[in-house]
Amino acid sequence: MDALDLQFARFVLDIAVKTTALLAVTGIALLALHKASAATRHLVAVAGLAGALAIPALASLLPAWDLPVLPGERRVLEEGSWDTRKLGSGDPSWASLEVQAREAALISPAAGLSRAQPGIVALARRAGIAWVAITWAALSALALARLLVGLARVRGAALRAAAPPREGWAIPYIRASRALGLRRFVRLGLSDEVEVAMTAGAREPVVLVPAGAGAWPEERRRLVLLHELAHVKRFDWLSQLVCEVALALWWFHPLAWIAAARVRRDAELAADDLVLRAGERPSVYAGHLLDIVRSLRANRDTVGAMAMARASGFESRLRALLEARRRGPASAAGRVAAVGLSSIALLLAAVHPTPARASEQACETGGHATAPSPEPHFAIGKARDVFANLGSSGFYERGLALHHEGRYQEAIQAFRKAIARDERSEASTYNIACGYARLGDREAALDWLEKASAIGFDLSNYLMADDDLLSLRADSRFRDLVRRVREESSEGQARSRKAISRFEKMSDDPPASADPWYSVGKELLKAGEYDRAADAFRESAQRASRPGTSLYNAACALALQGDDEAALVELERAVEGGFDDPKLLRNDPDLVTLHDNPKFDEISKMEDALSMPRLRVGRSLRRTDVEAWKKAAEGFEAYASQHEDSGRALFNAGYARLYAGEEAKSAEHFARAFELGYRKPATLYNLACAEARQGHVDRAFEWLGKSIDAGFDAKGMLRSDEDLESLRSDPRFRELVKRTELAGHL
């Protein structure tokens, strides 16, 4: 066996042993935490598999830590011994020659090259190593290919999925998100390519439900969304992806399969626990799960997504739902165990066991022992070798580190030294501008940005995206620089021409829907055509049932253009029109130029006062939820008493009183909001709900019909909204359902 084969074999054996040790510790931790919550066990299992996935790369990149823990090698050259003779035909002289040749090969690497042919044993060893390597790589590649195909199928299904009707899904989605405290946007899709609801994606998550899910009762839709959004909240798809990649690498390892099975099982149990912690009854939830599993035609694992239910293992999952056990989030012990496993993975990757010094014992017959010649030390791309060969002064890296620590003046000096040594001069020049911007020196920052552009640094992807430059946005020189960079960029010119052309066509033949105007507004905003973008968003607001978002984007466009007064006007209209995100309003970099204006503080306070609390909704609320809605209603009413023309305050007060169980007050508030012209379709619909909950059937039908006439998209909502339960037995209700469904097909 030559040195390369020896090195590869030892590397494979080394990482296999280390991975086995890590997975064994993971298994012990899981046994110790068998009574902990599913979220705790899931965290520990994922940490173990992530470590198993990282060990090969870390072992190649981290500096080796040699530990002389292996037994020392002992070579005894004894020409007359029986052990030596048995290798040949019994001729001691022949055996002596073979031993001497092997010793020479160890001492002099060149001597090994002089051998004409390796022996049969060496050939067999090399063939065995090659077979192991090829088999391992081939099956790992097949497993990864299967995963990639699964991801591609899920992505294709997501792209082809149809958007569900708002009326049947909006309320369950909002309620599920609020119950879980989920603030991320998750796209919903109806697909005939899936049998069961599933979740995929990390940066832009999507929930796919079967095409026939529209026939599900409202309670099942809510429970399904609760479960899938729980996966999104816990980032289970990402942890499952790590699990699948680790399993592709260690496909032959039984401990890896055991850990992966625990990850899948505990991910589902943890999501179930979140559903139950949101206030759902275990028996009801278990019944819906059972019906979903019974409807499955085959027990197929969905690669690339988190499927809600599978027939395999469902019995144990059902027992876990109904039995009393811990259902909380990951415990402190689980987090400590996960950190410990990560530390163990780093330690194992860095440790390099080496033989102890050879014992220098003489054999009984008077022979002598030779000290072992050092074996080749196997390392691939050690970090210390990489940095030793960079050939750079290191001032650029030092500048970056200082900048990230907030030591901007020192970072600027380091970048200046990097420029003096011609080390990444363009990027160093740009980073000096960022440092001055952070220090508040606008003139110096803009001067260095001009220098960076002049020497060839591409500013087009940085000026409006880099947080370091936020303090410059109010400066006219900065706006001129942004405009000039976009004009000089061929890609920016093409984007701008395309957006302007679409906007002008729509201006000549205006679409009735808000969506096209909103879409072209986003295109114009990205292209830097801020005045046209603001006009497009205003057009969208005039046609939207909830204009707040469109007006907010118009305010952003005007602020970026430098028209602060107009931006503040649109921002105030956005808040009054229903824009509900105080955190975004305060932190949006597009509005940074407005922060010094006292009017912006007034608008921020108004947004805080009018923001709807994230509380549970429905007819069967707990006392604490009802009291919270009453408190919220009192706040909105106090605001409305001071701002009599605030339709949003009255609308929010009506909404809060509705879920506080005070329908008469709710109807009164909605009626006043309607008189002020606030979101007439939605206000009329909610007024109908308030009247229906009081049993005022005729008045409810009157307002319901007016809401549909005003443009409220009630398709699906009529069938699912529990507030309209008292109307469903009336023939007029069936007529309204037919009317809305017919309108949806036109």
CA dihedral sign of residues 482, 487, 490, 492: positive
Count how many domains the chain has: 4
- Provide the domain limits for residue 729: 623-745
| 179 and 295 within one domain | yes
Same-domain check for residues 685 and 736: yes
- Same structural domain for residues 631 and 713? yes
Are 523 and 569 in the same domain? yes
End-to-end CA distance of the chain: 77
Residue closest to 62 by CA, chosen among 342, 376, 384 = 384
Same-domain status, 533 and 636:
no
Query: Is 344 inside a domain boundary?
Result: no
Q: What is the CATH number of the domain that holds 715?
A: 1.25.40.10
Residue 214 burial (10 A CB sphere; 0-12, 13-18, 19+): middle
Alpha-carbon distance of 591 to 529, in angstroms, equals 16
Residue after which a domain boundary falls, among 243, 276, 308: 308
SS (H, E, C) 598-659: HHHHHHHHHHHHHCCCCCCCCCCCCHHHHHHHHHHHHHHHHHHHHCCCCHHHHHHHHHHHHH
**pLDDT at position 366 over 90:** no
Mean pLDDT in residue range 225-254? 90
Q: Say what the pLDDT of residue 170 is.
A: 85
Kindly report the number of other CB atoms within 10 A of residue 323's CB atom: 8
pLDDT above 90: percentage of residues in the chain: 25
Q: What count of other Cβ atoms lies within 10 Å of the Cβ of residue 691?
A: 27
Residue 71 lies in a domain: no
- Print burial letters for 153-188: b (CB count within 10 Å at least 16), e (below 16): bbeebbeebeebbbbbbbbbbebbbbbbebeeebeb
Instruction: Give the DSSP letter of residue 184.
Output: S
| 161 and 270 share one domain | yes
Q: Which of 460, 488, 516 is the last residue of a domain?
A: 488
Phi (first) and psi of residue 490, to 5 degrees: -65, -40
Ranking 21-35, 295-309, 406-420, 654-668 by mean pLDDT, the lowest is: 295-309
**Mean pLDDT for the stretch of residues 443-450:** 92
Phi, then psi, of 507 in degrees rounded to 5? -65, -35
Whether residue 383 is contained in a domain is answered as no
Q: Are residues 483 and 570 in the same domain?
A: no
Task: Flag whether 238 is in a domain.
Answer: yes
Residues 283 and 230 in one domain: yes
pLDDT digits (tens, 9 = 90+) for 98-157: 333 333 333 333 333 333 333 454 456 667 777 877 888 889 899 899 989 988 988 898
What per-residue confidence (pLDDT) applies to 673? 92
Instruction: Kindly state whether residue 315 falls inside one of the protein's structural domains.
Output: no
Q: Do 214 and 262 have their domain in common?
A: yes
Q: Decide which of 289 and 409 is more confident.
A: 409
Domain match, 158 and 300 both: yes
* Angstrom distance (rounded) from CA 270 to CA 171: 24
Provide the pLDDT for residue 93: 36
Let me know how long the chain is.
746
Q: What angle do CA 280, 286, 290 make, to 5 degrees?
A: 145
Does the pLDDT at position 355 exceed 80?
Answer: no
Query: What pTM was computed for the model?
Result: 0.46
For the chain, the average pLDDT equals 79
What sign does the CA torsion over 259, 260, 264, 265 have? Answer: negative
Q: What is the mean pLDDT of residues 402-417?
A: 91
Same domain, residue pair 577 and 537: yes
Whether residue 588 sits in one domain with residue 646? no
Give DSSP secondary structure letters for 377-399. ---SS-HHHHHHTS-S-SHHHHH
Q: What are the C-alpha distances in Å from 385 to residues 7, 62, 63, 429, 659?
A: 18, 10, 9, 29, 66
In a domain, 732, yes or no: yes
pLDDT digits (tens, 9 = 90+) for 172-194: 888 888 888 888 889 999 998 88
Given 588, 610, 632, the domain boundary residue is: 610
Q: Residue 466: inside a domain, yes or no? A: yes
Bridge partners, residue 353, by sequence = 67
Does the pLDDT of residue 298 top 50, yes or no? yes
Q: Pairing mode, if any, of strands 206-210 and 198-200?
A: antiparallel
